[in-house]
Amino acid sequence: MTEPLPSRDDIARLADYVGFRDTRMRYDTERMSAEEAQARLISAYEELRVAEEALRAQAEAITDAERQVEIERHRYRTLFEFAPDPYLLTDADGIIEHANGAAAEFLGVPGALLVGKPLVNFVDLRTRSEFRAHLRGLGSNIRDRVLVDLTVRDGRAVSVEATATSIPSDGERPRNYCWLLRDLTTQRDSEDSMLALNRSLNARVAQRTRELEIALAGEQAARKEAEAANRIKSELFARLSHEFRTPLHAVSGYLEILQQNIHGGLNDDQRKDVDRIHQAQEHLMALVNMILDFAKLEGGLVELCMAEIPIEETLRGAESLVAPQFAKKGVSYTHRPGDSVLTVFADREKVQQIIVNLLANAVKFTPAGGSVDLDWRVEDDVVMVRVRDTGSGIPEEKIEEIFEPFVQVRAPGSLPSGGTGLGLAISRDLARAMGGDVRATSRLGVGSVFTLTLPLRKHTSAKLSAPVTEN
């Protein structure tokens, strides 16, 4: 479809727009054909359309730029107006052109009334001449600071740090300055407050340090007193034990004389009385020996003779010392043997003492008709010896308490079992001194299991003093 030909007026306007005013095209049908004229007109028309599109794009770009400028201007005004510090905008002569809310509040004059007033009017009379000289000395592209005294809203003079930043213009002289005002009085007050607070904190820290030093000195003194008291107690235990053992040995000797009828025969009643005295003497001797061992442990005076010992043979030797107690009370005993040639690195006498304490403790708290079992096995590098009983059991929350010295736990309604409550405490300390431990598990109404652990390999020297182990 052929587009309609433009009119002569359209051709004239088209020629004017594209710069052909002086060489206006003549529409001469005699010199050019209609097809050539039509082609030229269509080409000119396309050029006009392209030019219009370019003008429209430029107009849109200008509109967008104006919009962005307005957004930035609004953002600047918002930041300027709501800035917490006082800001002023002046011309080169110091005439205020704009002031934000903080400046109006600081100077005590509404922002609208500040506009048009010289900034020097708010400077204290005594320093106005100096401020004018400073203002005249400001150049372009500067950032300068000056200390001035300004008269503020309550009529008093306030020391202010005024920072002037020039905003250059097209001319040689800057068009205006932006002033930032900082109240040095508030800053000084804050610095004084901080110094006072620091002094107060330092005084409190020094006082607290002195209190802690006094408390530490008191704690060290109390610890020394406790150590001295503990040492005196251990020495007293050891001395009393030795003093008790001497007459007890004498009693044991005289009882043996009576039992052997060296000074004449005894009738049945007398022999029963002598046997009861002998049993009481042996029980008392055992208690004295236990107290003496505990005193030695607390004082770190126990010597361990460490060596490779056969565990099965050592356990059998301990059982023979407790066997009469099982028979007397009617409690069955079972030993589950292990490897007869397996050895552990420990003190044989101390291991037997621990096993005797564990077995005697099991007999003591197991009723007649009950049972006690002993078995042992190897786990990793440790030998574990277990003593199980069918006694009344121990409450879970009191399991660790039974390893404390002089502590005994018994079932409600049961009679005291006798003893000092030192057997388990001594056993655990001896085990730990040899690199092992003694632990317990229990269930009420079912029984208890005490486990002695000992290292298979050598961990200590052949002979050493055992330290006191905390429970």
Burial of 14 (0-12, 13-18, 19+ CB in 10 A): middle
Give the rounded percent of residues in the chain with a pLDDT score beyond 90.
8
Average pLDDT, the chain: 76
How is residue 84 written in tokens? Answer: 């917490």
Q: pLDDT at position 10, please?
A: 56
Distance CA 381, CA 342 (A): 12
Establish how many alpha carbons lie within 13 A of residue 238's alpha carbon, considering only the half-sphere containing its beta carbon. 15
Distance CA 171, CA 12 (A): 46
Q: pLDDT at position 465, please?
A: 38
Q: pLDDT at position 147, please?
A: 66
Q: pLDDT at position 383, please?
A: 92
Q: pLDDT at position 371, please?
A: 92
Of 22-31, 164-173, 401-410, 420-429, which has the strongest mean pLDDT?
420-429
Tell me the per-residue pLDDT of 287-343, one tens digit each, with 9 for 90 and over: 676 666 666 666 666 678 888 989 999 898 888 888 888 888 899 999 988 888 888
Q: Are 149 and 127 in contact (CB under 8 A)?
A: yes
Position 110 confidence tier, pLDDT thresholds 50, 70, 90: confident
- Which helix (H) or strand (E) segment holds residue 213: the answer is helix 184-259
Tell me the per-residue pLDDT of 126-169, one tens digit each, with 9 for 90 and over: 778 888 887 777 765 566 666 666 766 566 677 778 788 877 66
Distance CA 463, CA 430 (A): 14
Q: Are 346 and 436 in contact (CB under 8 A)?
A: yes
Tell me the per-residue pLDDT of 70-108, one tens digit each, with 9 for 90 and over: 888 777 777 777 777 888 888 888 888 888 888 888 887
Whether residue 184 is predicted with pLDDT greater than 80 in this model: the reply is no
Q: In the chain, where are the structural domains located?
A: 8-79, 83-189, 302-465
pTM above 0.85, yes or no: no
83-189 CATH, one of 3.50.50.60, 3.30.70.1050, 3.40.50.300, 3.30.450.20: 3.30.450.20
Distance CA 163, CA 359 (A): 92
Q: pLDDT at position 322, please?
A: 84
Whether residue 244 is predicted with pLDDT greater than 70 in this model: the reply is no
Burial of 2 (0-12, 13-18, 19+ CB in 10 A): exposed
Measured in degrees and rounded to the nearest 5, phi and psi for residue 371 equal -140, 155
Domain 302-465 has CATH 3.90.1150.10: no
